[in-house]
Amino acid sequence: MSRNVPLHGVVAYPITPFGPDGGVDLPKLRSLVDRLLAGGVHGIAPLGSAGVLPYLSDEEREAVAEAVVSQVAGRVPTLVGVSALTTERTVHHARFAERAGASALMVIPTSYWRLTDHEVFRHYEAVADAVSIPIMAYNNPATGGLDMTPEFLARLLEIPNVTMVKESTGDVNRLHRLVQAAGEDVAFFNGSNPLALDAFVAGATGWCTAAANLIPRQTIEVYDAIRRSDLPAALRSFRRQLPLLQFLVRGGLPRTVAAGLEILGFDPGPLRLPLRPVSEAERGELKEILAGLSPAEVS
């Protein structure tokens, strides 16, 4: 089956910076986007977990989407998160992102009540019917509270413009099961940082990661080495990054990314409550890790 897949490689998830007044700092967000593009990432994905999507108002979400898409200005594809508790709000944000010029949309089903497979399927159908651009189905039970099996994700790919899957459980066997269920041409993206190398070896089209806020070129090294079939080089690069990737997961996004950006000289502003900064001990650990990866940038 031929699918419209506009993304590949390292897809970077910027955090959403805030100003002293607690509001979204759009100039700083644009600067962060430029920083990611200068690092060579292959795509920009605002309004993911790192971008604290659930903590933003509708107006803030729309401002972030517009700012990122306009700043990227077509230099790489943009993948805009549009998820919401209700189908109506998800459709609303999907239509807005399409009008703003997004290349694709990312949808994770979230709910206070546990949804049935039928309800989730109809949710994706409604969003797909409302827009014409590609959709990435995102599975992350740790944040969304719902776990979509590889076999169910393969069913979602039968919806014409649901063309990509992001799998973030950290279970490489799920990636193999997805290929078995959906076919060798399935476009799946890894969202679990410590699984990046295994996912590429399993055939992942790309790596969705907030680590690119801190080490964009190193994340791209892994992808480039895989592309030229140099597994030893990919392994060496990945193992150098692994302590940071593990730290980011253990400490939780976006607090760890915000701390890392500050250590590297980029002020991300305050976190949005109830999120709090990392501890001094965690900051010291992160600074030591980053000094081993980007010694010239650590302040």
On whether residue 2 sits in a domain, the answer given is: no
On whether residue 25 sits in a domain, the answer given is: yes
Side chain identity, residue 85: L
What does pTM read for this prediction? 0.96
On whether residue 287 sits in a domain, the answer given is: no
Q: Give residue 139's domain range.
A: 9-229
Helix, strand, coil percentages (3-state) for the chain, rounded to 5, are: 50, 10, 40
Nearby residues of 73 by Cβ (< 8 Å), 6 or more positions away: none
> By CB neighbour count within 10 A (0-12 exposed, 13-18 middle, 19+ buried), where does 41 fall?
buried
Question: Residue 169: which CATH number?
Answer: 3.20.20.70
At residue 43, the pLDDT reads: 98
Task: Tell me how far apart the alpha carbons of residues 223 and 166 are, in angstroms, rounded to a whole number.
Answer: 16
Q: Which two three-digit tokens encode residue 65?
A: 């989407």
At residue 143, the pLDDT reads: 87
On whether residue 289 sits in a domain, the answer given is: no
Looking at the structure of the chain, the number of domains it has is 1
On whether residue 298 sits in a domain, the answer given is: no
On whether residue 256 sits in a domain, the answer given is: no
Res. 294: pLDDT tops 90: no
Give residue-wise pLDDT tens across range 64-110.
Answer: 999 999 999 999 999 999 999 999 999 999 999 999 999 999 999 98
Give residue-wise pLDDT tens across range 163-193.
Answer: 999 999 999 999 999 999 999 999 999 999 9
Catalytic residue among 13, 124, 138, 223: 138
Phi, psi for 73 (deg, rounded to 5): 55, 40
Q: Is 223 a catalytic residue?
A: no
On whether residue 172 sits in a domain, the answer given is: yes
On whether residue 267 sits in a domain, the answer given is: no
At residue 169, the pLDDT reads: 95
Cis peptide leading into residue 46 (ω within 30°): no
| Sequential DSSP letters for 146-178 | ----HHHHHHHTTSTTEEEEEE-S--HHHHHHH
Give residue-wise pLDDT tens across range 109-146.
Answer: 988 888 999 999 999 999 999 999 999 999 999 888 89
